[in-house]
Structures are given as structure tokens and as C-alpha cells.
Amino acid sequence: MALAPDTRRLIDRLGKGTPFPELGPAKARTEYRARIRELAGPGPAQVCPAEDTELAGVPVRVYRPLGVTGPTAPGVVFLHGGGWVIGDLDTHDLHARALAVAANAVVVSVGYRRAPEHPYPVPLDDCWAVTEHVAQHATTLGIDPAQLAVAGDSAGGNLAAAVALRARDAAVPLRAQLLVYPVTDPTMSTTSYTTYADDHYLTADAMRWFIDAYLPDLATRTLPLAAPLHAPDLAGLPPAIVVTAEFDPLRDEGAAYADRLRAAGVPTTEISVPTVHGFLEFVHEIPAALRARDNILREFAALIRADRG
């Protein structure tokens, strides 16, 4: 399978900049924000009011689609990607807006503290604090507590999977989980890390830099809440949608996590997209990325609202 020509042209263009590991965290954040602004085009594709506030002492952005009122809407805690280092509420604003509109849901995007200034478990603890707060105050937030879900992309997918594990163990009910090209095995030991180490947008060197920032202690890299693929038991987790990208160093660990979820009896849909990691950033440049994004969000919206009997 060959990478689509329009995607190849785009990643060749984006690859002309200085690699993030060479920039350091502060400059990499600035560069990533500029890249996202460029890719986003002249304006947002979805219109959805949002409010910046704090929940459980953590900065959040709450999206509430027009017409969504009262405590009957689904709720989604959204955890942004960016390698635990460079993403933020702004870089993933369009992701969260699209999710809110597609699911007709209240979306709480979490501005967790980032590595390397705040390594594991600080970002996860922030995400969990917000999730627990939303679960406990769902009605006040206009959310149906029976329709609360968690979602994340890349490093955010790692955090979302970990939050789902914590929620299960704390008896906090979650309706569903959406894990988009998630990090599930920070040991970087899968075949796809070798196959797609370079020249496919996300590189193995960049992932090594991100993982070193978030998990500087090697002993943490197989802990279940840092490496969900290493969790001994996945039974009892909420139904999942796991999205993988074909040309992605993270492809194999995402597919392996989907396999383990199914083996544990967790209803799991795996969606494989023939493109690169980070394709959600390309939806205004590449029509196939937009189609894939919209399909994923339709599936997730249906999963949140599905009748469990």
C-alpha cells in the first residue's frame, strides 16, 4: 500500500522545519502551534461555543453545541495529543469542536500540565481529577451521567486509556472510550517503529524525545497507567473505538491494544486508516483525512448513545 500523493506532498512540506527534539520544549511548542494555525486554514470548520474555566483546579475548555441544554447531553472528557509536551487546548481546539458537534455532546477538553516540566504521573493525575469531577458533577454541567465518555489522540489516547483503567478501578462508570492512534507501549519495541521510523510525519526520534520527557524513569515505561498494553487485566473497561494509522510508528501497539481489549471481552471497534499519524491535523488540507475523521466521530457518537439494554 502506498501513501496517498496529497499526504506525501504535505508531510514533505511539513518536514522541512527543524525537528522538535532539536528545538527543545519551549520552541517546539511555539512551532507546533504555528503549524496547527497553518493547517487549520482561515477559520474553524465547526461552530460551537466554548468557555475557558477550571475544574478540580485544572484548566479546561468546555464546548457546548448550540441547542444542547439541560442534564441530558452526552459528555466527553477530551485529552489532547502532542507527545505530552507540545499540545495544548488551542492546538486541539478544532478536534474538540468537531467532537462536540458530531456527538451533540458537552466536551470538556483538559489543559493538563505537560512534560518535561511535569513528568508522569502529573499529566495523568490532572486528567483523572477532571474526569472524576465531571462524573461527580455531571448534572450541574448539563451532562447525563449515564453517557459520560473519554477520548484522546496520540499521547492523549494514552491518557484516555489510563483514565479508563482508573475509572474502572474506582467504580466511576464510563460509557465509551475513543483512542485515536494511541501510545500504549512506550518501550518502542514494535515492528512498526522500525518500518515507519522516518519520513512519515511522526518519527521514532520524535517519539523517543516525547517518551523521555514524560517517562524519564525507565521503570515507569511498563506500568499499566503509563503503558496500558502492559496492564495485566483489561476486563470491565468501557466499549472502545481504537483508531490506527497504517503508516505510523504507533500502528502495532494500537492494534495490539485493540486485540487485548477484545480478548478481555470489551466490545471494541478497530478502525485502520491508510494514512499517517496525526491525520486529524490534516482535515482542512486532505479530503480523505476529513472523511476518516467524520466517520470516526459518527461511530463514537453512536457508541456513546447505544442502548446497552
74: left (phi over 0), alpha (psi -120 to 50) or beta: beta
Give dist(CA 282, CA 278) in Å, integer: 8
Cell triple for residue 150? 473519554
Residue 277 annotated as catalytic: yes
CA 254 from chain centre, in angstroms, equals 12
- In our burial notation (b when 16+ CB lie closer than 10 A, e otherwise), range 249-285 reads bbbbbbbbbbebbbeeebebbbbbbebbbbbbbbbbb
Q: Which of 154, 185, 192, 252 is catalytic?
A: 154
Alpha-carbon span 134 to 156, nearest angstrom = 18
Out of 88, 185, 248, 252, pick the active-site residue: 248
Strands 58-63 and 50-55, bridge-based pairing: antiparallel
Q: How far apart are CA 56 and CA 102, in angstroms?
A: 27
Nearest-angstrom CA–CA distance, 110 and 132: 12
Q: Can you give the C-alpha Rg of the chain in angstroms?
A: 18
Q: Report H helices in the chain.
A: 5-14, 20-23, 25-40, 93-103, 122-136, 155-169, 191-195, 204-214, 251-263, 287-305
Cα dist from 196 to 3, 37, 142, 204, 224, whole Å:
12, 26, 43, 8, 25
Closest among 258, 253, 259, 261 to 236, alpha carbons compared: 261
Active-site positions? 154, 248, 277
